[in-house]
């Protein structure tokens, strides 16, 4: 565990200094106790010899001063080490998370990441200090006392030595059970965190279903499981904990019995017997305390394992000499196959999109449209085949260059709770006002900004809640303009937009392709977008079934024609229903 802790910590300077300080303190404590032997020997005689005791008392006093000084130093070092360790772990976890494939960020992994960065990092930082220090003392003080005891009476020293492995074995069993209990408790706590996020996000659905105030059954089940794991842990650890305490107590009885025997048989002086008794107490007391530390030590060990699991997750592979410039924005998929685990999503998908064109992806739900866009943006890598941009396999492109050249307009656009200006500047922080306004005009965001009470300085609310879905999409398209991304991947809103937003978003998409260097792929749901596309790729169950111009495909009467009629029918139904 100690090795793992040091491996996790790239700069363990403070941790090493702290551990060394506590090791010195532990040995010093043992040596100070050893001074009792000559002092008691000089004082507990029929004729006390204070002169003989004086040098030892002076040495003891000096030792206590050093001990106090080192303890005073250890406190701020411990605090700094705890904060430093937690900060280093957070940075490592976050830095590593930014290198992971975007496909890794599932709801479960996001909750795990949040817990690693918050709970695990601070627990490791705190426990390494609050538990690490007593753990060092609880092992080094008894070890020093064993050495010292050999100087007084070898039989007592051997008894101490014999007790240590028995205590260690029973402690190990208690530790194993504590580790299992902690892992179960942490899994239950992570489940609660996940359910809490879900509960917040799913409030509209829950309320619509009449569960707004009572909360979800899944949350209650998670809370029940957490309580049950806690009880299970307590029940399981009862016997091993009691066994360990019994071993320590039995050790104490054995020490008393041996001390009494040696004294009664005249083999030990009273002073030596008293000194040994004090040493025995200081030998057994920290051992007894270990049982209380072990649960926390195992909790720290489990937290270390979780942080390591995150850090060991393979990053998106980057070539040693990646391509830094893409000749153009032509996109070509050749024989692309992809599966989520063992669930196939795409099989042998091939099509090409030329710069300056818009390609509409159509197909029934689950046909693989989103997966195609994810692979182009390299959220994850293809199983077989290749995705090429400007003739270069995306796996060979510098990820930063890819991020710069690709803009994604999601169906559900996430905006930060900040001004509309800052939300746009995210795409290019150093953009001038003129560029900002130009991007807004092209995305038809300018008319939204004009309507807002504080114009560009209007805050959009949490996740952009103060803007409608269509308005949020316009912000996202404006970001793509501002970023000067040559590839724009759009997941058009599937749900109904009001006519004004629908027309605005369609015009914004059309504006994107005015730049002949830009390639646009849109997962289309509206007949207007389908009709305006230069080309269409129709997907069904992960395969491309048709490609061609919208007019040709409508005439051919295949999947596209059927879907087009469905969308058109749904639209006219919506209009009539209004």
Ligand X SMILES: Nc1ncnc2c1ncn2[C@@H]1O[C@H](COP(=O)(O)OP(=O)(O)OP(=O)(O)O)[C@@H](O)[C@H]1O
Q: Which residues bind ligand X (CB under 6 A)?
A: 340, 343, 345, 363, 365-371
Min dist. Cβ of residue 563 to ligand X (A) = 11
Query: Of 86 and 493, which has the nearer Cβ to ligand X?
Result: 493
Min dist. Cβ of residue 380 to ligand X (A) = 9
Give Cα separations from 127 to 3, 122, 294, 424, 485 (angstroms): 15, 8, 11, 42, 47
Q: What's the order of all strands across the beta sheet hosting 543-548?
A: 406-409, 487-491, 519-523, 358-362, 535-540, 543-548
Query: Of 47 and 106, which has the nearer Cβ to ligand X?
Result: 106
Query: Of 298 and 525, which has the nearer Cβ to ligand X?
Result: 525
Give, rounded to a whole angstrom, the gap between the first and last alpha carbons of the chain.
Answer: 66
Query: Of 420 and 553, which has the nearer Cβ to ligand X?
Result: 553
Output b/e per residue, 192-206; b: 16+ Cβ within 10 A: bbbbeebbeebeeeb
Min dist. Cβ of residue 437 to ligand X (A) = 34
Query: Of 380 and 456, which has the nearer Cβ to ligand X?
Result: 380
Min dist. Cβ of residue 522 to ligand X (A) = 12
Query: Of 398 and 540, which has the nearer Cβ to ligand X?
Result: 540
Helices 217-264 and 154-201: crossing angle, nearest 10°? 170
455, containing H or E segment: none
Min dist. Cβ of residue 346 to ligand X (A) = 8
Min dist. Cβ of residue 215 to ligand X (A) = 27
Query: Cα–Cα distance between 298 and 307 in angstroms, integer?
Result: 14
Q: What's the order of all strands across the beta sheet hosting 384-389?
A: 343-353, 331-340, 384-389, 392-393
- Is residue 387 a contact partner of residue 565, using CB atoms and an 8 Å limit? no
Query: Cα–Cα distance between 259 and 265 in angstroms, integer?
Result: 10
Query: Of 240 and 363, which has the nearer Cβ to ligand X?
Result: 363
- How distant is the alpha carbon of residue 403 from its chain centre? 23
Query: Cα–Cα distance between 196 and 178 in angstroms, integer?
Result: 27
Min dist. Cβ of residue 368 to ligand X (A) = 4
Query: Cα–Cα distance between 315 and 101 in angstroms, integer?
Result: 7
Q: Is the dihedral of CA 391, 397, 401, 406 positive or negative?
A: positive
Min dist. Cβ of residue 359 to ligand X (A) = 15
Query: Of 141 and 376, which has the nearer Cβ to ligand X?
Result: 376
């Amino acid at each position: 565990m100690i090795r793992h802790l040091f491996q996790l910590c790239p700069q363990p300077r403070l941790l090493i200094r702290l551990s060394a300080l506590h090791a010195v303190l532990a040995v010093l404590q043992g040596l100070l106790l050893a001074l009792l032997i000559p002092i008691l020997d000089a004082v507990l005689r029929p004729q006390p010899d204070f002169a003989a005791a004086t040098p030892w008392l002076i040495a003891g006093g000096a030792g206590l001063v050093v001990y106090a000084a080192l303890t005073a130093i250890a406190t701020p070092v411990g605090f700094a080490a705890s904060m430093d360790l937690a900060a280093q772990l957070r940075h490592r976890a976050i830095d590593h998370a930014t290198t992971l494939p975007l496909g890794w960020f599932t709801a479960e992994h996001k909750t795990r990441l949040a817990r690693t960065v918050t709970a695990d990092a601070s627990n490791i930082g705190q426990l390494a200090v609050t538990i690490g220090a007593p753990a060092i003392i609880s092992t080094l003080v008894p070890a020093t006392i064993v050495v010292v005891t050999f100087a007084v009476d070898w039989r007592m020293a051997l008894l101490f030595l014999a007790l240590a492995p028995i205590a260690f074995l029973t402690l190990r069993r208690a530790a194993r059970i504590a580790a299992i209990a902690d892992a179960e408790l942490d899994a239950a706590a992570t489940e609660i965190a996940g359910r809490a996020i879900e509960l917040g996000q799913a409030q509209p659905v829950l309320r619509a279903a009449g569960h707004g105030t009572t909360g979800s059954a899944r949350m209650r089940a998670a809370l029940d499981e957490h309580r049950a794991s806690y009880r299970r842990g307590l029940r399981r650890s009862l016997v091993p904990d009691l066994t360990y305490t019994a071993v320590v107590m039995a050790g104490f009885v054995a020490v008393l019995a041996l001390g009494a025997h040696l004294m009664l048989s005249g083999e030990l002086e009273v002073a030596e017997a008293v000194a040994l008794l004090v040493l025995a107490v200081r030998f057994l007391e920290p051992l007894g305390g270990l049982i209380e530390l072990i649960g926390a030590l195992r909790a720290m060990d489990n937290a270390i394992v979780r942080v390591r699991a995150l850090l060991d997750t393979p990053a998106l592979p980057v070539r040693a000499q990646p391509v830094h410039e893409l000749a153009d924005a032509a996109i070509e998929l050749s024989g692309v196959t992809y599966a989520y685990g063992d669930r196939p999503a795409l099989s042998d998908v091939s099509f090409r999109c030329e710069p300056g064109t818009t390609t509409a992806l159509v197909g029934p739900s689950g046909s693989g449209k989103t997966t195609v866009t994810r692979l182009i943006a390299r959220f994850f890598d293809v199983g077989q085949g290749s995705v090429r941009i400007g003739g270069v396999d995306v796996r060979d492109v510098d990820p930063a260059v890819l991020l710069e050249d690709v803009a994604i307009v999601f169906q559900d656009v996430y905006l930060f709770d900040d001004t509309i200006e800052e939300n746009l500047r995210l795409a290019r922080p150093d953009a001038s006002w003129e560029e900002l306004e130009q991007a807004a005009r092209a995305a038809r965001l300018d008319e939204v900004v004009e309507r807002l009470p504080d114009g560009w300085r209007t805050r959009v609310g949490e996740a952009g809640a103060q803007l409608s879905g269509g308005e949020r999409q316009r912000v996202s398209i404006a970001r793509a303009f501002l970023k000067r991304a040559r590839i724009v991947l759009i997941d058009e809103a599937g749900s109904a937009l009001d006519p004004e937003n629908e027309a605005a978003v369609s015009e914004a998409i059309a504006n994107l392709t005015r730049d002949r260097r830009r390639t646009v792929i849109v997962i289309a749901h509206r007949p207007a977008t389908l009709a305006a596309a230069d080309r269409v790729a129709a997907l069904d169950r992960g395969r491309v079934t048709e490609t061609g111009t919208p007019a040709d495909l409508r005439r051919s009467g295949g999947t596209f024609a059927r879907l087009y009629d469905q969308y058109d029918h749904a639209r006219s139904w919506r209009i009539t229903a209004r």
